[in-house]
Amino acid sequence: MASTETVIEVDTQAAELLQRASRRAKARGQTLGAYLAQVLPEDEPDARRVASQRDAWESFVSGMTAWSTAHLPAGYVADDSRDAAYDDRT
């Protein structure tokens, strides 16, 4: 196992968290780096995250469109207006 010694200044809370992570890594038979790689998510660039969210939304809309085509009569339009939603509350 290759190791590198690096000295960084951190606040007390960060030092305690690193010590706790180091103990957990050792208990699992891992290096601190291997342990942190498992518990910390990779940074995802904003563009990739936005594209992923857009793809998920488009997939949801596509699925709902397919479902409504298969289960609702042709030309069905939902009346989701405020008046329809609160018709009985006049």
Domain parsing of the chain, residue ranges: 9-40, 43-72
pTM: 0.44
* CB distance 35 to 21 below 8 Å: yes
**Count of CB atoms situated within 10 Å of the CB of 35:** 19
Q: What is the pLDDT of residue 44?
A: 66
Q: Calculate what percentage of the chain has a pLDDT beyond 70.
A: 97
The ranges of the chain with pLDDT < 50 are: none
Torsion angle in degrees (nearest 10) through CA of 48, 53, 59, 62: -120
Q: What is the pLDDT of residue 71?
A: 93
pLDDT tens, position by position, 26-51: 999 999 999 998 888 777 677 788 88
